[in-house]
Structure 1
Amino acid sequence: MSPGLLTAALVGACLLLFSISLWSAWVLAGRRSALGFAALALALGWFAEEMGSSQGWFFGRYHYTTVLGPELGNVPVAIALMWFALCWLGYAMASLILWRRPVFCAAGWPRRALTAWLAAMIITAFDLGADPYFVFVLKAWIMQKTDGGWFGETLQGFAGWMVVSFAIVLLFQTLFAPRPSAGTGPRARRAALAPIAVYAAGMVFQMLFGHPIETRAVAFFAMGLPTLVALAAWWQWLHPESDPPA
């Protein structure tokens, strides 16, 4: 694939994931919460990446190549879009797993923090396989200093993913408290299933094409467990009085 076509495909994929996540958030959490979450994730995600690529904060020292398309500062716009997409996936799945509903208006810091922590773990589990693929196969960015702790990459990046995604989801719940999901009608069902489906698709991609090859097994277990539990929780949300599917 030519460099230009690869860039177009990657940017298109990021736009698609962003659009699916925004639609899902809009249906489940309402317009105000969806737009607030998107603005918050775009701003904080971009800031974290800008500080990472220029100062070495959060993720270690690295710089982006031209693979991911147009940039704002030192950061591809596609990366900022992905921060919202992944944070919404993580939040919706964490809410289903913990509270058996895709949007949970948590009262008090402990529940909000627990939701944000699980969401951050789900997001970082995705990055365990995605990060090496973007570095070694797509060459989307170049690490200037690595500790070799994860297939030649730095472990600091995963700590950064946990911290930044935790902050985004926690602040979202605090500043843009989502309203309860409006029923379990067909539209709401699809909107709640969409984050799980997108996450599962990412897992399948990593299992088939992950590099180094060891990340394929990592994807199955690290991403498969939250996918399976979230899917069961989605079913229980739809059928609160029935037994789990046989």
Structure 2
Amino acid sequence: MNLRTGTAQYSTHGWMSPLLWVVAAASVTSHVATVVLHLPQGVGGAMMASSLTLFGLLHGASTYGWRGILFFLVVCLGVSNAFENLSIMTGFPFGWYHYSNAIGPKLFLVPLLIGPAYFGMGYLSWTLARTILSDEDTRLAGLLWFVTPVIASFIMVSWDLTIDPMMSTINGSWVWHNGGSYFGVPVSNFLGWYLTVYVFFQCSALFARRRFATYTKIPGYWATPLFAYTSIIMAPILGLLLGSEPATVLADPVGHPWQVQDIRSVAALVCLFTALPFWLLAVFKAGGIARDPQKSPLH
């Protein structure tokens, strides 16, 4: 393969496509099982993070090569851990909070599972943005080197909108010291999320653009990440249908009581009108790419 031609090639590794389907199915199963079976947060988080990390590494290697996806991984882990620790110590950029011991051991002040979760969901968000923008050859030509990180960051934050109140206010995985208007979560958290993910997406985009990377065409290249992402849509809906907590949770640190059913209802609603539309756009665009590959006007 000539990486500087921008031309896709068909993979000679017949095992890659079925393996990606298996790993994508594992991520969906682990995510759904965590909600349905009410698994401990550490167990469910480890299952989801490990399966999504493996998926991101395998799919990413077929897209950018091992050097490219490992760069994405290292930058993602480094930036996310740095910003998380910075905020815990200073309140910037997310706000004042700390992690409980519910999701396992920590690297400095941040649980080890947080970094892989950033990477796994970050890679899916990045791939959905590429699909929506018709970035078929991955060269990030034209404005795509900037637009792709912008869109991917919005997709990533839409996921946090569905999970943060449940993980913090209901489950107590992390605690917001001053509460917040979004079911105990401050608005600064979502602005901080956008900044954090945009930084590592933009760094990765500049690296990919410099390398003129192209993807290895394998069966299910676009379908497997879209399948893996379905768990993000199903989880809050299942949480609403199957939640078993009492009507009212304990008051947050500033004394504000929150209704569990309200939190679960809003999480499902936000998912239906943010994550689901992003996914549908990617599905429709992926279908068009498969039928008649054309460059986006942004190229």
TM-score after normalising by structure 1 = 0.88
AA aligned opposite 2:279: T
**d(CA) in 2 for partners of 1:17, 1:46:** 18
> Given that residues 42 and 84 in structure 1 are in contact (C-alpha distance below 8 angstroms), is that contact kept between their aligned partners in structure 2?
yes
**SS where residue 63 of structure 1 aligns?**
strand
**d(CA) in 2 for partners of 1:71, 1:120:** 25
Larger radius of gyration: 2
Match of 1:154 among 186, 189, 198: 186
Matched, 1:174 2:209: no
> Given that residues 21 and 88 in structure 1 are in contact (C-alpha distance below 8 angstroms), is that contact kept between their aligned partners in structure 2?
yes
**d(CA) in 1 for partners of 2:45, 2:117:** 11
**d(CA) in 1 for partners of 2:275, 2:123:** 16
Regions of 4+ moved over 6 Å: none
AA aligned opposite 2:272: F
Equivalent in the alignment of 1:228 = 280
Query: How many Å apart are 1:159 and its aligned residue?
Result: 0.5
Matched, 1:12 2:47: yes
**SS where residue 264 of structure 2 aligns?**
coil
Which segments of 5 or more consecutive residues in structure 2 lack a partner in the other structure? Answer: 1-33, 241-262, 295-299
RMSD: 2.3
Query: How many Å apart are 1:208 and its aligned residue?
Result: 2.0
Query: How many Å apart are 1:5 and its aligned residue?
Result: 4.4
Query: How many Å apart are 1:220 and its aligned residue?
Result: 0.8
AA aligned opposite 1:105: R
Query: How many Å apart are 1:136 and its aligned residue?
Result: 2.3
Identity %: 21
Equivalent in the alignment of 1:127 = 160
AA aligned opposite 1:222: T
Equivalent in the alignment of 2:27 = none
**Structure ranking higher in helix proportion:** 1
AA aligned opposite 1:78: L
Equivalent in the alignment of 2:223 = 193
**d(CA) in 2 for partners of 1:22, 1:145:** 37
AA aligned opposite 1:207: I
Equivalent in the alignment of 1:26 = 61
Equivalent in the alignment of 1:239 = 291
Query: How many Å apart are 1:198 and its aligned residue?
Result: 2.3
Cα 1:241–1:152 shift into 2, 3 Å? closer
Query: How many Å apart are 1:199 and its aligned residue?
Result: 2.1
- Count of residues in correspondence between the two structures: 235
Query: How many Å apart are 1:175 and its aligned residue?
Result: 2.3
TM-score after normalising by structure 2 = 0.73
Equivalent in the alignment of 2:78 = 43
Equivalent in the alignment of 2:270 = 218
